[in-house]
Amino acid sequence: MLAYIWAEDLTGGIGVDGHLPWHLAADLKRFKEKTMNHPMIMGRKTFESLPGILPGRKHIVLTHSTLNISDPNVKVVHSKEELDEWLATQDKNQLNVIIGGVTLFKMYRDQVDILYQTIVKENFQTDTQMPVINYADFEKIEDQQFDDSNLKYEFITYKRK
């Protein structure tokens, strides 16, 4: 099973200068809850945007380069084919969570089973845009709206119909 998790602003922006455009503690908490104990699949730039190797989760990193990382919780793959081969070795009930960025979010959008979306309800300066998702293929199973910290935001979960 595949899930996507991401946060976007009102224009679909997800990143700027290699990092998140906002700091939203509640979203980081949700990210941790949804990814803990699940393999996380990501592009090399998203990997480099993390504060380090996150505990309790295997990191599957897509890159054309050789990343010299010896941590047993990091697996490097060099093509979609290699990533698909790794996914095929996974238990069908195992949730693998794609955490970005754009290439990965485009790559599996016709296959992904679950979407964990956060909408941060402001317009930020961004240089990275969430690809179009066909929401008609999904059923909304959770929708929580928040108006605390200094931001309004929404947590939505979709399941493929």
Ligand X SMILES: NC(=O)c1ccc[n+]([C@@H]2O[C@H](COP(=O)([O-])OP(=O)(O)OC[C@H]3O[C@@H](n4cnc5c(N)ncnc54)[C@H](OP(=O)(O)O)[C@@H]3O)[C@@H](O)[C@H]2O)c1
Q: Are strands 151-160 and 114-120 parallel, antiparallel or unpaired?
A: antiparallel
Residues 6+ apart with CB under 8 A from 68: none
73, two tokens: 């919780």
Minimum distance, C-beta of residue 50 to ligand X, in the bound complex (Å):
9
142, two tokens: 């959770």
Minimum distance, C-beta of residue 72 to ligand X, in the bound complex (Å):
21
Minimum distance, C-beta of residue 80 to ligand X, in the bound complex (Å):
5
138, 161 in Cβ contact below 8 A?
Answer: yes
Nearer of residues 92 and 97 to ligand X, judged by Cβ:
97
Nearer of residues 65 and 125 to ligand X, judged by Cβ:
65
- Binding residues for ligand X, rule: CB under 6 A, are 6-7, 14-15, 18-20, 42-46, 49, 62-65, 78-80, 99-104, 128
1, 41 in Cβ contact below 8 A?
Answer: no
Secondary element (H or E) of residue 151:
strand 151-160
Minimum distance, C-beta of residue 147 to ligand X, in the bound complex (Å):
20
Nearer of residues 12 and 113 to ligand X, judged by Cβ:
12
Nearer of residues 96 and 128 to ligand X, judged by Cβ:
128
